[in-house]
Structures are given as C-alpha cells and as structure tokens.
Amino acid sequence: MIFGSNNWVVGGALTEHGAAIVADDMHLAITVPNIWYRAGWNIPGTEFEMRGTTLPGGPILVAGSNRKVAWGFTNTTADWGDLIPLELSEDKGQYLTPEGWKNFIVEDEAIAVKGKPDEILKVRKTIWGPVIGEDHNGNLLAYRWVAHDVRGANMNLLEMETIGTTRGAMDIAPELGIPHQNFVLGDSEGNIGWTVAGPIPRRVGLDGSRSVSWADGSAYWDGYLPLEEQPHVYNPPSHRIWTANARTMDGEFLRVMGDGGYALGARQQQIRDDLFAKETFNEQDLLDIQLDDRAIFLTRWQEHLLSLLESEADYAEVLEQVKNWGARASADSVGYRIVRNFRLRFIDLTTAPVLTYMRRFDEGFEFNRVNRQMEYPAWEMLSGEPAHLLNPEYQNWRALKLAALDSALAEMAEGGLPLAEQTWGVQNSAKIRHPLSRAVPAVNWFTAMPEEPLPGDSHMPRFQSATNGASERLVVAPGREEHGIFHMATGQSAHPLSPFFGNGHRDWVEGKPSSFTEKAAAYTLTLQ
C-alpha cells in the first residue's frame, strides 16, 4: 500500500462554462483533528479570494482556488536526494573530498526527556550533508538532499495569492521551497498545466539510481535547473492532465526526476480511463471519479482464483463469494476481501525465499519501495508457474496458491464471523482517533469518529484504509467556487463539545457533494 494522493484537471474545452476544473484528494493518515484546516480570505484591493485548505495556523493556502487559478498537489515520488558512500581515512576520523581529506563536523542535538536529563545525539556532518547511517558493507553514508539547502524551504507558495494564470503559476514552481509535488493547475480561462513544484538538482556524473562516491569530483550537483528545463506539460491536446504518485514522465524529464519508488500505476491508469470516458465534465463528474471504487486492478486475480477453485469441492462457499464479488471494493463484499487478501498472501509466499536470503546479509531487510512494483513478477509467477521460482516448501504451484488462500481465509475468520459476514467493510472499518487515545483509550468514546465500514482500497481512485485515505477532497473551477465541492474527514473543530466537531464527516463517508464555499456566518470572532 502507498499513501499518496490523486489530482487531475480538465481544460475549458471540456466544460460548459469554459473554465478548467481541478480535482484534488490528498491521501494521508487521518486522525482527530484532521491535518487540514478549511479557510478562506480575500486579498485587499484585488479580485483574488482565497478558498481551500491550509495547515492549522499556517498563513498559506495549500490547495484550493484564488478565483483565477485553482491548484492541487500529489507527491511526485521522484528522487530528490542522493546517498553518498564515504571514503574514510585509516583512523576513520576524516573523509575524502575533491579538495582532499576533511574532518567531520560534529554537532550535538539535545533531545529533551521529561523528568530526565537531555539525551545528546551527536550528528556528523560533511560538505554534502549529514551522515545518516551505513550500507550493508559498513560504509558510512552521507545524504545530499534538496531540503538541506536554503532554497529547499521557503514561503514562496504565498505568491499563489495573486497569480492570475496557469502559466504564471507554473513559472514560480522552481522557486517553491516545499517537498516536491506534482503541481496540477487550471485557470478561469480554461488553461491547464502540470509541473514539479520545488527546485530540481542538476546531477553531473550520476543519475541518482545508484549510490556512488563523490570523493574524486566526478559526481556532484551543479546547482538547480532553470525554469526552461523544468519538467512541464501545458495545455495538452487531450485537455486532460492526471497524476497519482506513479511515473508521470519519460525521456529527459524522467532522467532529471529520477525514481524515488513510484506507485504501481493502477490507480493512475483508472483515473486516466475515467477521464477519457467522457467528453464534457462538470464538478459532480470529477467527484464521481474520486469515488470510483471499481476493482479493475484485481479483476485478473479474481478470474484466476475462480479457475483455481472450480475443481476444489472443499471451497464451494468461497467459490460462490468470489464469483459474486461485485467487482468493487464495496464495504459489503466478501468476495472482494477474499481476492484482495489472496493476492497479498500469494506474494508473501512467493517472495519468502528471497526475503530469507537477503536477511542473511541484513537482518532488518524489507522490500519497502520495491514492493510497490511486485505486481509484475507476482503475476508472472501466478500465471506462468515457473518451476525454478517455486518456493521449495511447496510441492507445486497449486499447493502454494491454496496455502495462500487458506492463510487469507484463516486471517479473515479470526473475528469469529461466518464467511458470509466477513465483508471488506469488517476489515476496512474506520479507525479515526485522537492521538491521545493511544495512551488513554477511554477518550475514544467522545473524540473518535464512528467506526464505520468504508468502501475503497489501494489500487483505485477511492483510496481508503481504516486509518489512511482522502484527508480532503476538492473539486473546483476558478471563478465558479460556489459550484465547487469540498470534503474533509472529521470536522473543522477539534473540540468534542463544539457544534462543528465532526461537521461534514458524514458527507466525506458517503461521498455526498458538500459546498466548497462558506455559507451564512453563524459566529464571528474579532481579534483585537
């Protein structure tokens, strides 16, 4: 599973009113209170009116509209840092640089501990960045990262308050000191665009795919790319742009972005196909895509599992549930849960020998980001059954597949429910709680959101798990904010006794359109 985000935009050629429409839903851990705070303000003396979502207490609109331009973000999942294996002196007190041997700079970082003396963390620093650990051979690793530079963190996103065009917003993208994002935009004139928000390093002598020494000066960062070299798409012929944490670019643009562990792409592909299924769009159409929970990605797994079970008399009830799975991540589907969990257990069993082998060298080895692309070899093993890749603990591939299914069914049965009641919603029930509840569970009764069964899953537009999902949803055409849609998990207030605690959460759960803009004022707070 990857916790990412979705966004897309359709150009004015595909809307009745001629303005672009932007949709954005950022996938994060969801707690009480939410990470976002819904806000709006007007820029004095201008036509610009900011509406959207901020970080609580922050002065910047993270995603939303200023009546001229609307925008949203998703993680690029590209590569914005490099691990550098250091070449050390015999006494390991110095490291080699193009200018010769240098001493480490050691700084003490104090960590306050309640009721005890501070703990001191000694951080070794190099000319490229801090030492963050060792590789599997024991070599020290330094980390060169955009965020270590002054340019990597600033308040330049404030400029969006008075940007009037998509092109103008794209032009400031390299100067935005934020974690690198897919910056998707549309304006009131119907223009749309995509670029990377954040400065992109110019790598020389390396492509970022491997850790290499920088000691001899042949590998280094030569500043940052200028605007004209920034990856971008502006007003494509299709009038559609979409991102969802998978790879967005190829060729030279892919080279400069690198690969930071892209998402599989199934979610992005489903969004793309939804966007090309229609020739005109309104705000509700884009919300419908955000709520698309069709299990297209798992269809071939469902079909394979059906063929496996047709000759297995002991699995008649399971076969019936899989046959009638509904082809959606529906909260009331038993078959969806079976297919989904069978796939995961199959991957576990087929990759177990590799994991065991790698842990001979590193006890803590995990597949981590590699796991995001595991679908391709897993499917080849499921469908092709190569004898030389069979886990030696099993007599044949059929035995392994049935063991994977049995493991999934046993885990589903742990709650004691009969199979017909072991729905996806039982596993995917909301656990949206206050952080304090981890220490004081009793506070859950009045601070947590209801533990409701939720539709949606990883590899589809309606990304959803028990604790992670669309922390917000917005759909808006700049200049037509009154027709926009906004969802937010939990509510605007974090106080359980507030009338706004949990206000709007029901629309988020059920996918009902709720207003992007504010209604009549009920309360006024005057700051003096």
For the chain, 528 residues long, give each residue's pLDDT as a single digit of tens.
Answer: 456 799 999 999 999 999 999 999 999 999 999 999 999 999 999 999 999 999 988 889 999 999 999 999 999 999 999 999 999 999 999 999 999 999 999 999 999 999 999 999 999 999 999 999 998 888 999 999 999 999 999 999 999 999 999 999 999 999 999 999 999 999 999 999 999 999 999 999 999 999 999 999 999 999 999 999 999 999 999 999 999 999 999 999 999 999 999 999 999 999 999 999 999 999 999 999 999 999 999 999 999 999 999 999 999 999 999 999 999 999 999 999 999 999 999 999 999 999 999 999 888 888 888 888 999 999 999 999 999 999 999 999 999 999 999 999 999 999 899 999 999 999 999 999 998 888 888 888 889 999 999 999 999 999 999 999 999 999 999 999 999 999 999 988 888 888 889 999 999 999 999 999 988 888 888 988
Nearest to 279 by CA among 329, 228, 240: 240
Three-state secondary structure call for residue 26: strand
Beta strands in 139-280 (DSSP E): 140-145, 181-187, 192-197, 201-204, 220-224, 232-234, 240-243
Question: Which own/partner contact pairs does 97-104 have at CB distance under 8 Å and 24+ positions apart?
Answer: 97/126, 97/127, 97/214, 97/215, 98/214, 98/215, 98/216, 98/217, 98/220, 102/126, 102/127, 104/131
Check the CA dihedral 46-475-184-10 and report its sign.
negative
Q: Are 266 and 297 in contact (CB under 8 A)?
A: yes
d(CA 21, CA 166): 12
- DSSP conformation letters of 69-123: EEEEEEE-----EEEEEPPBPTTSSEEEETTEEEEPEEEEEEEEETTEEEEEEEE
Please give the model's pTM, rounded to 2 decimal places: 0.94
d(CA 187, CA 10): 10
Question: Which own/partner contact pairs does 104-109 have at CB distance under 8 Å and 24+ positions apart?
Answer: 104/131
Q: Are 517 and 481 in contact (CB under 8 A)?
A: yes
- The three state secondary structure string of 407-462 is HHHHHHHHHCCCHHHCCHHHHCECCCCCHHHHCCHHHHHHHCCCCCECCCCCCCCC
Place domain 1-78+150-292+432-523 in its CATH homologous superfamily.
Answer: Aminohydrolase, N-terminal nucleophile (Ntn) domain (3.60.20.10)
Q: Read off the tokens for 445.
A: 């009764």
233 — phi, psi (to 5°)? -140, 130
The 8-class DSSP code of residue 36 comes to -
Residue 66: what pLDDT?
98
d(CA 425, CA 366): 29
Residue 59: what pLDDT?
87
d(CA 39, CA 56): 9
Q: Are 262 and 229 in contact (CB under 8 A)?
A: no
CA–centroid distance for 21 within its chain? 21
Topology of domain 81-148 in CATH is Penicillin G acylase, beta-roll domain (2.30.120)
d(CA 95, CA 514): 58
For residue 29, count other CB atoms closer than 10 A to its CB.
Answer: 12
The packing angle between helices 299-309 and 316-323, to 10°, is 150
Residue 493: what pLDDT?
86
Q: Are 220 and 82 in contact (CB under 8 A)?
A: no
Amino acid 359 reads R
